[in-house]
Amino acid sequence: MKHTKTVIAIAIASLLAGCGGSDSDSDNNTPDPTTGTFSLGVSDNPADADVVNIAFKQVVLKNSDGAISFDVSEDGELKHVDLLTVQGQEVETLVTGQSVPLGEYQMCIYMQKSETANPDSSYVETASGIAGLTTNSNGSCGGEGAEDEDTGRLFFNKSFTIAAGTNTFVAEFNLAKGLQAPHGNKDYWTLKPTSVQLVNRSEVGAITGQISPETTASCQSAAVELGLPDEYSPAVYLYPTTTALTDMADFRGEDVPYLLTEVAPITSARVNELTNDSEEVIGHEYEFGFVVAGDYSLGYTCVAQNDDPEAANTPDDETDAFFIHLDEQDVTITEGGTTERHFPETFVPTP
């Protein structure tokens, strides 16, 4: 059965190297561990595009002692990852089994950027063809990092610890908020470096579910009543615990305020077709791959294409109204678990 998921993530794994597991040094004269092995992979939360291709160049970890750099190229070529092929909890590896001293770190990921359509660089593909993909951040990371003009930097402000034992993290990109379509006189896409959050994988779980045909139809009818064109982009938005349906707002730019009762979404997941072995559509599903354990609310919309990540979009907009049509409350995520929640909760998908 074919599944197409949604979440952009980067996993970091640190494993205790050469440790027998005893907590007593006197038993075998084994010294305290000083390093762990480091691995890094990529997975996705896509915006409304057919391909989001990142040409990765380098990963750098930095701390007060300096920086450690990892070249992620393959056979001298950049590591190209179409994020839409590694969605949900799937991961594409960037760095594997590198020894790293224990301690506190920050991370930078370097990508090749291009303002022109170039399949050999980073790009976004839509029904109209491909367009360049760039990011506005550059520079070194602890004195390390690619300095070429065509290099962009994704910087993680949040520090994390590589400790003895297993340490796995996920850098989750919110593309619905951080991937900006061409606008003004620009004909290229822009990836905001601030659209990423680092979480400890041991503290996260997943959410998955399906959308009932009745929910889809009623949302589309509501869109027609608002005078919207017959175009739909369904998505599920994740909100903090106990967010009422009337308070579920859209993504907005940092300089665009929310009203007193409006609540900003944490992230969103595209709703995708679920097909059988004969490629027949048998349902519609969504998935959040990496969510910190806790309580949440969910909101379903069929007009996610009208959510401009730089502006405030409401049901009152005359030409591009955005609204959350149906909510689900009391969604609890447990560490390492997968929570199933359909729209509505009483919906029973066909086996």
Cα gap 79→57, rounded to integer Å = 7
pLDDT in tens, 168-201: 777 777 778 888 888 888 999 999 887 777 777 7
Look at residue 338 in the predicted model and tell me its pLDDT: 95
Q: What is the pLDDT of residue 159?
A: 85
What local confidence, expressed as pLDDT, does residue 188 receive?
95
pTM over 0.95: no
CA distance 207 to 332: 9
Whole-number pLDDT of residue 216: 97
The confidence band for 207, taking pLDDT boundaries of 50, 70 and 90, is very high
The answer to whether 301 and 324 have CB atoms below 8 angstroms apart is: yes
Q: Give the CA-trace dihedral at 216, 222, 227, 228, to 10 degrees.
A: -30
pLDDT of 85: 76
Q: How far apart are the first and last CA of the chain?
A: 12
pLDDT at 41: 60
Tell me which of 244 and 269 has the higher pLDDT.
244
Residue 14 one-letter amino acid? S
The four Cα atoms 269, 274, 277, 279 give a dihedral, to 10 degrees, of -100
CA angle 123, 198, 333 (to 5 degrees): 110
Tokens of 136: 């506005």
Task: Say which amino acid occupies 173.
Answer: F
Q: What is the pLDDT of residue 169?
A: 73
Q: What secondary structure, in 3-state letters, does the chain show?
A: CECCCCCEEEEEEEEECCCCCCCCHHHHCCCCCCEEEEEEEEEECCCCCCEEEEEEEEEEEEECCEEEEEECCECCECEEEEHHHCECCCCEEEEEEEEEECEEEEEEEEEECECCCCCCCCEEEECCEEEEEECCCCCCECCECCCCCCEEEEEEEEEEEECCCCEEEEEEECHHHHEECCCCCCCCEEECCCCEEEEEHHHEEEEEEEECHHHHHHHHHHHHHCCCCCCCECEEEEEECCCCHHHECCCCCCCCCCCCCCECCCEEEECEEEECCCCCEEEEEEEEEEEECEEEEEEEECEHHHCCCCCCCCCCCCCCCCCCCEEEEEEEECCCCEEECCECCCCCCCC
Q: pLDDT by residue (tens digit) across 127-162?
A: 889 999 999 888 888 888 777 889 999 888 778 888
Question: Mean pLDDT, to the nearest integer, of 4-29?
Answer: 40
Tell me the residue type at 289. Answer: G
Task: Look at residue 35 in the predicted model and tell me its pLDDT.
Answer: 66
With contact defined as beta carbons under 8 Å apart, do 312 and 338 qualify? no
pLDDT band with cut points at 50, 70 and 90 for residue 245 = very high
